[in-house]
Structure 1
Amino acid sequence: MTEVLIRPAVAADIPAITAIYADAVLYGTASYELTPPDEAEMAHRFEGLVNQSYPYFVGETADGALLGYAYAGPFRTRPAYRWIVEDSVYLAPQAQGKGVGRKLLTHLIAVCRDKGFRQMIAVIGGSDHIASIRLHERTGFEPIGIMRNSGFKHGRWLDTVLMQLSLGEGGATPPDETVYPGTLFKG
């Protein structure tokens, strides 16, 4: 595995995050966006998540080269979903297949569990996106469904694979209604 240092993302990381995401949009199926957003839009998205106390991390080399990033955000915005997050992991092309994604996702899972979230959902673009499916399987996710032909990108229909991981006590006990893991639902 490549030596990867995980740390909270900061605004200065936005140019590298934007470049990594642009590659995923243009050449991959992890995102169903068709046009890469610019740095201003990526900064807006970043601020929206971190200002609501959702975790957002980068993985970098010892000399500071950004290899990838991972974050969790709301799965859905209705209040009953507030204990569920959706994960996102994006890697620079040179970091793919080297254990960077697993390190980022493992860290993200631990932080989300510690924050009190109870479930994590992976929404994977393309049933042939084997690397992402295996990454999620290796970190404990289970398949929960496939939405067939749900996205059209790169001239073909794509399935959307849904996977789920229980965090902490999962659904075994009710959550503490006085403490929300993020701030999205605070009045």
Structure 2
Amino acid sequence: MTEPIIRDAQPADLPAVAAIMDHYVRDTVATFAEEAPTPAQWEERLTHKRQQGLPFLVAEVHGDEPGASSDVVGFAYTDWWRPKSACRTAVEDSIYLSPSAGGRGTGTALLSALVDRCAEAGHRQMIGVLTDVETEASYALHTKLGFRAVGHLPDVGAKHGRSLGTYLLQRQLG
């Protein structure tokens, strides 16, 4: 796999985004979502994020052979940490990679770009909310990029017959 190109998501990317997320919804507890959004629902989210001035990025790789196609192998976006106006300087990140993209630097490139975009936009804090099981790689990625653990909320969800909690990680921006 070649070095990823990190860019703004486009509507044509959303079927790949939906397929990546479908894996996490069906096969993991990395997200509390129990139904995967459709490409049309992702398009609504993309439009809403653009209206709110929030980034939605994809990682794209090109095949090694001349003329090879490119593939979206990951995505990352932010939401407001909380909807209350006093929380307008804090955002929550979400990042997901296709299983084939893990361990190749794609997550680092994608989350780094998301952090940079948010800092440039004037956000002051980024929060990562990670499930407390089966997310060791995401936890390592976040701490590698300067996030620090600030809390643990045990037993706040259940999925696939398992009790789940969340870790809260925080990074100052700017």
2:163 corresponding residue in structure 1 = 157
CA RMSD, aligned part only?
A: 1.3
1:111 offset after TM fit, Å? 0.9
Unaligned runs of 5+ in 1: 169-187
Number of residue-to-residue matches in the alignment: 168
1:110 aligns with 2:116: yes
Q: Report if aligned partners of 1:127, 1:161 keep a CA contact under 8 Å in 2.
A: no
Correspondences of 1:65-76 after superposition (within 5 Å): 65-76=71-82
Q: Report if aligned partners of 2:29, 2:133 keep a CA contact under 8 Å in 1.
A: no
2:37 corresponding residue in structure 1 = 37
Q: Report if aligned partners of 1:70, 1:108 keep a CA contact under 8 Å in 2.
A: yes
Q: Report if aligned partners of 2:30, 2:134 keep a CA contact under 8 Å in 1.
A: no
Q: Report if aligned partners of 1:7, 1:59 keep a CA contact under 8 Å in 2.
A: yes
Unaligned runs of 5+ in 2: 63-68
1:19 corresponding residue in structure 2 = 19
1:49 aligns with 2:49: yes
C-alpha separation between the residues in 2 aligned to 1:85 and 1:148? Answer: 22
Quick one: which amino acid aligns to residue 24 of structure 1? Y
Q: 1:81-124: per-residue Cα shift (whole Å, max 9, x none)?
A: 00000001011111112211111000100110011000000010
1:3 corresponding residue in structure 2 = 3
Alignment identity in percent?
39
As a proportion of its length, which structure holds more strand? 2
Normalising by structure 2, we get a TM-score of 0.92
Which secondary structure does the structure 2 equivalent of 1:102 belong to?
helix
C-alpha separation between the residues in 2 aligned to 1:39 and 1:158? Answer: 27
Q: Report if aligned partners of 1:4, 1:60 keep a CA contact under 8 Å in 2.
A: yes
Runs ≥4 residues deviating over 4 A = none
